[in-house]
């Protein structure tokens, strides 16, 4: 690890876990599971704290819905111990794409490569 990345880890949290989080996890954390993206989930001995160490970018929408429910105490057992039953109509988890090139753009949006022609609208023209 280079000096720059070590310094970045010491003073920032958005590039990965900080030294404080790493130390807390090492001293108090018990690994309970990992999701498909490589995010690792922990809890302390009395289960009063639950947290995630992200694999890569720290973005809350990268947490799978199953693990989100466990982190926020919607259910007590983590998906690694008691997997949730998924329905055939459920779509796979997708992170929030707002602000990216892959964000949803409705028909007629100027962000589309070829916006739809708006035939149901006549712009007002002054006389």
DSSP character string of 80-122: TTSPPP--TTPPPP----TTSTTS---TT-TTSSSPPP--S--
Please indicate whether residue 83 or residue 108 has the higher confidence score (pLDDT): 83
Q: Is the pTM of this model over 0.85?
A: no
Instruction: Tell me what the mean pLDDT of segment 11-25 comes to.
Output: 71
**What tens digit of pLDDT does each residue of 66-89 get?**
999 999 999 999 999 999 898 999
Domain positions in the chain are 3-71
């Amino acid at each position: 690890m280079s000096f720059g990345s070590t310094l970045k880890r010491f003073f920032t949290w958005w590039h990965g876990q900080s030294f404080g989080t790493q130390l807390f996890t090492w001293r108090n954390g018990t690994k309970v599971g990992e999701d498909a993206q490589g995010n690792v989930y922990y809890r302390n001995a009395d289960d009063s704290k639950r947290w995630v160490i992200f694999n890569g970018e720290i973005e809350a929408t990268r947490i799978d819905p199953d693990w989100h429910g466990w982190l926020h105490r919607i259910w007590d057992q983590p998906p690694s111990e008691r997997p949730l039953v998924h329905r055939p109509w459920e779509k796979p988890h997708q992170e929030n794409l707002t602000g990216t090139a892959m964000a949803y753009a409705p028909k007629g949006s100027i962000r589309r490569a070829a916006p739809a022609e708006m035939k149901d609208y006549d712009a007002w023209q002054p006389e």
